A and B are shown apart, each in its own frame.
Chain A
Amino acid sequence: MRLFSWWLRRALSAVVTLFLVSILIFTASRLMPGGFAEVVLGPLASPEQKAEVTAKYGLDESILVQYARWLGTALSGDFGISMISGEPVTTEFGLRLPVTAQLALFGIGGAILIGVPLGVATAVRAGRRRGGAAVGRLLSGLGVSVPEFVLGSVVVFLFSRFALGLTVGGYVPFGADPAGNLQSMLLPAAVLSVFVIAVTARTTRDAVLTVLVEPYITASIARGDRPAFIVCRHVLRNASIPIITVLSTVSAYLLGGAVIIEYLFNLPGMGTYLVQAVGRRDYAVVQAGVLLAAVVFIVLNMVTDAVAGVLDPRFGAAAKGRKQ
């Protein structure tokens, strides 16, 4: 029962946060100088034309009325239309979400399959050589220090200049041409993964190092257990909380839209779409996009808490419920 009430509180708190996000994004989008009418009609439009466009989309009403109307329809699942294309926002998102989701999937896959093992492998060897630890720190530091737009520019340069077999740009949907899709997504996914893998590896390494000096590891070594067994049985489970937390942070980051990667490799994802929408004052798109990202962020946090509770009851929701 306590557990249930803890989750109920959690859900209510999430709703409040989303409500605040919606107010903030609505206010910010109306504070942007130069309204929608100026952007579509250009600088030469007459005041009458501007007034007509403004009235057509209800932008002449007070911001409170506009917000109330938007919130009312949004609660019933209607997020309005893109004023640029005239299509419903949900339809527009449907075209771009697959790109972002695919990139995110590659990134998260890299983090789990490469980042976590790399972190464990460098951690269990950390105390062996004096210089080894510093080299590991330098390399993982390098991974998080190379900005996406620098690494991306280098990759674009190399692959455009020397015809290395993979093309830059030329996105096709996976459904239309799976091979062509993978060919165009491989490079952006690789560039994106470097940072994500490095962040995951660093956090994993830290978590594992903290666990390795615990008495139960000493006991396990004394019993003569093999290192692989110790890692699987004791280390991973006890180091799991920071690891899944960083995986969740990384997922939220990736699903928020990798703006720079999409821009560099010409991918029609959510990131570039939102940036364009900000530029064109396409209010409904900006509002729904930011709200969607906030929902993803909050849901991921809740899922992380739930998984953490299962993996390690000391930290879980059950423990938090007990405290109250």
Chain B
Amino acid sequence: MTWWRKADWLTRSGLLCLVLLALGTLAGTVLGIGGDPDEMVGPRLAPPNGEYLLGTDELGRSMLPRLFEGIGTTLVLSALAVLVTAVLATLLGIAAGYRGGWLGEIVLRLVEVLHSFPVIVLAILVAAVLGPGQTATICSIILITIPLMTRVVRAAAVSVSERDYVTSAVISGARWPRILSRHLLPNLSGTIAVQGTYALSVGILVEGGLSFLGFGVQPPQSSLGALIQQGSIYLLAAPWLVIGPGIVLVLAILAINVFGDGLRDSLEPREARSLV
């Protein structure tokens, strides 16, 4: 883990924050801290107090376990989608960048078609075709994040495949599986990791936006976007319904972005100079 030694405090705290958020949510869900997220336990719209740390919602459900469930849903959906995006974008990007030819043309064209759809409209179309819910959310995130990642991986694959070590491997008779596993993938892994972190933050944004508009995760299941959507109805009477999920959402995206920036900087270090 050389990048960890090279990373600055901000990058490290980004990763730490993300890990803590995931572990905390896992612990909270497994241990059942705060009770059952679906059980109506208390008074309706109670502000945060000793018994209900984050208050209760319009049905008297405690917000703390609902928040745990919400973070879990959002993180799992986005991570699954980004995993699929990463695999597909890597395959497509290498096919277009290393092999090129008609296959590359087709990949680039498909990616451009997807890219020219407005983001939220694309997500809502997917939700309309598949029906609102988790599957639609995952598919939307994949379709939205795949164009950019494929393009970046392709550009990197083009530059790697022009290097001398690839040429010499080809000349010495190496087959493509060997070139792929020995030369292309190791040299593209940094790019893929950085793009993956950015895609993850986009994924969380898309889940939030889609659920906020009512086309994503459906009640009674909670997600960060769904919690904010339901809470925004009672925004003036019970702002705590939005504040908790809102802060967690911003924190998660910020941590991922800051970590991604730091990862990129430590993989492609450069000097800095000040003019003033």
Query: Interface on A for B, CB 8 Å cutoff?
Result: 13, 16-17, 20-21, 24-25, 28-29, 31-33, 124-128, 133-134, 137-138, 141-142, 144-150, 153-154, 156-157, 160-161, 209-210, 212-213, 217, 221, 227, 230-231, 253, 256-257, 259-260, 263, 271, 274-275, 278-279, 286, 289-290, 293-294, 297-298
Judge whether B275 and A33 touch: CB under 8 Å. no
A207: shortest Cβ distance to chain B, in Å? Answer: 12
Q: Is the CB of A141 within 8 A of B261?
A: yes
The answer for the CA separation of A134 and B108 in the assembled complex, in Å, is 36
CB proximity to A under 8 Å, residues B12-60: none
Check A260–B274 contact: CB distance below 8 A: no
Count CB-based A-B contacts (< 8 Å): 158
For B275, list chain A residues within 8 Å (CB). Answer: 124-125, 212, 221, 227, 230-231
Q: Are A278 and B124 in contact (CB under 8 A)?
A: yes
A21 and B117 within 8 A (CB): yes
B113 near A20 with CB under 8 A, answer yes
Q: For residue A25, give the distance in angstroms from its CB to the closest CB of chain B.
A: 8
- Tell me which residues across on chain A come within 8 A of B209, comparing CB atoms: 147-149, 259-260
- The answer to whether B249 and A150 have CB atoms under 8 Å apart is yes
Say what secondary structure dominates the interface of chain A. Answer: helix
Cβ–Cβ contact A297 & B10, under 8 A:
no
Provide the B117-133 mask, 1 if CB < 8 A to any CB of A, else 0: 11111001100110100
Contacts of B5 in A (CB 8 A): none
Are B113 and A253 in contact (CB-based, < 8 A)? no
Docked Cα-Cα span, A147 to B120, in Å, equals 13
Q: How far is the CA of A13 from the CA of B115 in the complex (A)?
A: 15
Q: Which of A17, A154, A263 contacts B112 (CB 8 A)?
A: A17
B224 CB, min distance to chain A CBs, angstroms = 9
Please report the total number of B residues contacting A with Cβ < 8 Å.
Answer: 47
Asked if B236 and A161 make an inter-chain contact with CB atoms under 8 angstroms apart, the answer reads yes
Q: Do A253 and B119 touch (CB < 8 A)? A: yes
Q: Does B102 contact A (CB under 8 A)?
A: no
- Please state if A256 and B118 are interface contacts (CB–CB under 8 Å): yes
Verify B116–A259 contact, CB threshold 8 A: no
Give the complex CA separation of A129 and B228 in angstroms. Answer: 39
- Asked if B258 contacts A138 (CB within 8 A), the reply is yes
CA distance A21 to B121 in the complex (A): 13
Whether B117 lies near A124 (C-beta < 8 A) is no
Tell me the minimal C-beta distance from A298 to chain B in angstroms.
6
Assess the B129–A28 pair: CB atoms within 8 A: yes
Determine if A17 and B109 form an interchain contact, defined as CB atoms under 8 angstroms apart.
Answer: yes
Question: Taking CB as reference atom, which chain B residue is nearest A156?
Answer: B235
Q: Choose among A134, A157, A256 the residue that contacts B239 (Cβ–Cβ < 8 A).
A: A157
Give min CB distance, A117 to chain B, whole Å: 14
Task: Return chain B residues, CB-CB under 8 Å to A150.
Answer: 208, 228, 242, 246, 249-250
On whether A256 and B121 interact (CB within 8 A), knowing A124-B274, A125-B274, A127-B272, the answer reads yes
Q: Are the C-beta atoms of A149 and B109 separated by less than 8 Å?
A: no
Contacts of B246 in A (CB 8 A): 150, 153-154
Is the Cβ of A209 less than 8 Å from the Cβ of B272?
Answer: yes
B197 to chain A, nearest CB (A): 12
- Contact of B171 with A by CB under 8 A: no
Nearest CB of B to A223, in Å:
14
The 9 A-B residue pairs with the shortest CB-CB distance, nearest first, are A256-B118, A127-B272, A127-B274, A294-B116, A145-B254, A124-B275, A145-B253, A297-B116, A128-B274
B98, CB-defined interface residue at 8 Å: no
**Is B257 at the interface (CB under 8 A from chain A)?**
yes
CA A20 to CA B270, docked complex, whole Å: 41
Whole-angstrom distance between the Cβ of A209 and the nearest chain B Cβ: 6
- Closest-by-CB residue of A relative to B246 is A150
Report whether B257 and A141 are in contact in the complex, using a CB–CB cutoff of 8 Å.
Answer: yes
Contact with B254, one of A141, A160, A161, A263 (Cβ below 8 angstroms): A141
Interface flags for B180-222 (1: CB within 8 Å of A; 0: not) read 0000000000000000000001000100110011000000000
Say which residue of A21, A124, A278 sits within 8 Å of B128 (CB atoms).
A278
User: Which single member of B109, B121, B276 contacts A290 (CB below 8 Å)?
Assistant: B121
Given contacts A256-B121, A274-B118, A293-B116, 6 further A-B contacts (CB under 8 A): A142-B250, A150-B228, A259-B121, A278-B121, A294-B117, A297-B115
